[in-house]
Amino acid sequence: MAKRVLVVDDDPAQRRILEETIKRFGYSVVSAESGDQALEILQAEGQDIQLLLLDLVMPGTDGMAVLAAIKTLPKKPPAIVQTAHGSIDAAISAMRAGAADFVVKPVSPERLEVSIKNALRIEALQGELTRMKASHGGELSFDDLIAGSETMARVVELGKRAANSQIPVLIEGESGVGKELVARAIQGESDRAGKPFVTVNCGAIPENLVESILFGHEKGAFTGATEKRIGKFQEADGGTLFLDEIGELPLEAQVKLLRALQEGEIDPVGGKQPVKVDIRLISATNQDLIKLVQEGRFREDLYYRLNVFPIWVPPLRERLEDVPELARHFAARFASEESKQIDGLEPEAISMLSRYSWPGNIRQLENAMFRAVVLADGDTVGVNEFPQIAAHVEGYSVTVPPAPAPKKPPQIEGPVVLGDSGRTPATIHIPAGNGRDAVGIPALSDSGDIRPLEAIEADMIRLAFGRYRGRMTEIAKKLGIGRSTLYRKMREIGLEARIG
């Protein structure tokens, strides 16, 4: 979707010229003939205005009054003001009042285009910066989340209610849907805002260290405990403890967790005294916990203790209307991180991304945008920058060039086995084969048939393993899956990892 610019000018001829010029730049345009009308449009439902081009001198509510009123609105699009030749004082006052830029009438199309692009770019980065600062400072709010869809409105509503109380929350949802971000927003809107937010990925802790990591240990409590260490519960004291992938917690640790929650105090390993802790508990899972309870893999009493206030975060395919804003948000972020001049996404790319099913959810979209920004040559990101997504969306499928059948079946060398030495090959050699895709994983078998997804997935995991030298967090991030899912899949394909 093209970005929408609101032109505010009482002169009809001037308005029409500006409308036409801005449309030619590829934006959509809405017009207002007065300051009052502009404010009405800005507050109207569904009018997603991303920028204002504002005349300063108008009868009634003038440009300065509009600038002042924008500050009180929930969404504050940047404004470029138009001033008459020679009215430098007016331009300075407008900039002080928050205008992003000023242009002198009659503005040339070139100057106007640069000004609009800069204002939009700064705005995108500003938004991202606020979000990142808020997240790190434990002050993220639900307004910082991209959650415009109806299904997410329910999540936000429940999250805000949870924030007003100390009730234990269980956040459920597929991997990568944003469970941790919701947890952070609950903390950021609660009276624990700004206090520690400590995350524990229960699926990634080696079983024999769970107790020490959660509750801490005294010096000499076990072989290798050369120093006293405080555990995650104590780290989170006064703030929030976020237990991610809670379904993966070993049974023995579940007993101890339950006791800690019941008593409000913990027993550090090797410690003589229990320690009182004041934590707010939020847990998350991408598994069906009730099923785990039925299978005897999760304690029922713990389940009821954690699942007092459940919040289900829907997968991205059930809120595809959030995709355009998420995609723009990630494009702005990665453009800034990669120091690339990217002005946005082409409408065709947004339309394609909005028709994909996103099995890896927002994390997958995030990774796809990262790759796309790196690939982009021009100042916009287009369909070509998403070959993997295009291959799965009807009407965009990429054609695999036919190649002569290989003499030997194409296969991944391996399996890569990480033993105690923890050695990993720097790269895994994948011989060229029939029907290879862009990253070298063969799509077709020797006989020319499509290979099963399971086999391709296994190849991807092995490839990622080699490329990122066994760094599990990075591998999981790049593959767009949780670490515990990665461990499980590795076990399934006989790839043993040394956990560390």
Ligand X SMILES: Nc1ncnc2c1ncn2[C@@H]1O[C@H](COP(=O)(O)OP(=O)(O)OP(=O)(O)O)[C@@H](O)[C@H]1O
By CB under 6 A, name the binding residues for ligand X: 145-147, 173, 175-181, 244, 286, 326, 329, 362-363, 366, 482
Q: Which secondary-structure segment (H or E) carries 352?
A: helix 347-353
Neighbours of 419 (CB within 10 A): 8
Instruction: Kindly state the smallest distance separating residue 286's Cβ from ligand X, in Å.
Output: 5
119 vs 140, which CB is nearer to ligand X?
140
Cβ proximity to ligand X: between 8 and 241 the closer is 241
**Considering the complex, what minimum distance in angstroms separates the CB of residue 369 from ligand X?**
11
Residue 173 to residues 123, 201, 221: CA-CA distances in angstroms? 31, 15, 38
Which candidate, 321, 327, 364, 362, places its Cα nearest to that of 342? 327
- Minimum CB distance to ligand X, residue 468 (Å): 17
CB 333 within 8 A of CB 368: no
CB 470 within 8 A of CB 424: yes
- The CB-of-357 to ligand X minimum distance in angstroms stands at 17
User: Contact at 8 Å (CB) between 12 and 357?
Assistant: no
- Quote the least distance from Cβ 362 to ligand X, whole Å: 4
* AA identity, residue 156: V
Cβ proximity to ligand X, 178 vs 470, nearer residue: 178
In the complex with ligand X, which residue's Cβ is closer, 362 or 416? 362
Q: In this complex, which beta carbon is closest to ligand X, that of residue 18 or of residue 461?
A: 461
Residues 6+ apart with CB under 8 A from 360: 175, 176, 367, 480, 481
CB of 180 to ligand X, least distance (A): 3
Least Cα distance to 331 among 64, 79, 3, 37 occurs for 3
Shortest distance (Å) from residue 382 CB to ligand X: 22
Provide, rounded to whole angstroms, the least separation between the CB of residue 145 and ligand X.
4
Please name the amino acid found at residue 94: A
Q: Closer CB to ligand X, residue 53 or residue 389? A: 389
The continuous run of DSSP H or E covering 153 comes out as helix 150-163
Length of the chain: 500
Q: Which is nearer to ligand X, 58 or 183 (CB)?
A: 183
| Residue 24 CB, nearest approach to ligand X (Å) | 32
Greatest Cα pair distance in the chain: 83
H or E stretch at 327? helix 323-337
Q: Strand (E) positions, 146-303?
A: 169-172, 197-201, 216-217, 229-230, 240-244, 265-266, 275-276, 280-285
Residues 127 and 113: their CA atoms lie apart, in Å, by: 21
Angstrom CA distances, 358 to 206, 238, 317, 318, stand at 30, 37, 6, 10
Q: Which residue number, 195 or 477, has a Cβ lying nearer to ligand X?
A: 477
Q: CB nearest ligand X: which residue?
A: 178
- Specify the residue, 100 or 332, whose C-beta has the smaller distance to ligand X: 332
